[in-house]
Amino acid sequence: MNACCRLVALLFVSVLAGCASSGGTHAAPMLNPDLMAVDAYHIGVDDQLQISVWQNPDLSVTVPVRPDGKITVPLIGDVQAGGQTPEAVAATIQGKLKSYVRDPQVAVILTELRSHEYLSRVRVTGAVRTPVSLPYRQGMTILDAVLAAGGTTEFAAPDKTELYRHSGNGTTQSYAVQLGKILQKGELATNYPVQPGDVVTVPQRAF
């Protein structure tokens, strides 16, 4: 096939793809796999943090985040934690400790998520046996959330399930979830990891 024929063939395939995507009823978009990672957790007031300094147990403490957003760390005093990620707080502490400790290795672990308990929930509504509001757990997927809700009812239209997620600009985006294929066939392409604040809605089928 010469170059001209190949170009015509590519254009024909593109037209067919465009026709296929524009036909039929409107469906929620599929979630981009690149966007499925959970946003980094930002520490809030009343969260409990465990500060571990390798080979320096006297500097390792468990502290709450005060109302001013700060924590107190041995040797270096107050450190801003509120609004920061654990990794950022660890880097700040590590940098301040260099004046006292040679090559400090610091880890910050969230032991209690008190500030975001309500915002960090995942909700399952619609044609499920027990609509629930679940505390978010890292690694939780849509299947985990639906099973925690007791699964779908006999009136459900599982392949019309949608995942609703708040976007960064204050809007809510919906994503198509083929829950029937997940439950009945083990096809996990749309078994997305959930994020704090997500809502999974299973509609009833039309009669």
Domain locations along the chain: 48-112, 117-207
CA angle 145, 151, 124 (to 5 degrees): 40
Query: In this structure, which topology does domain 117-207 adopt according to CATH?
Result: Outer membrane lipoprotein wza fold like (3.10.560)
Tens-digit pLDDT profile for residues 79-119: 999 889 999 999 999 999 999 999 999 999 988 877 666 66
Please enumerate in sequence order all residues whose Cβ is within 8 A of that of 54, keeping only pairs 6 or more positions apart, or say none.
104, 105, 106, 107
- pLDDT confidence tier of residue 45, bands split at 50, 70 and 90: confident
For the domain made up of 48-112, the CATH class stated in words is alpha beta
Which range is least confidently modeled, 11-15, 93-97, 188-192?
Answer: 11-15
Q: What is the pTM of this model?
A: 0.50
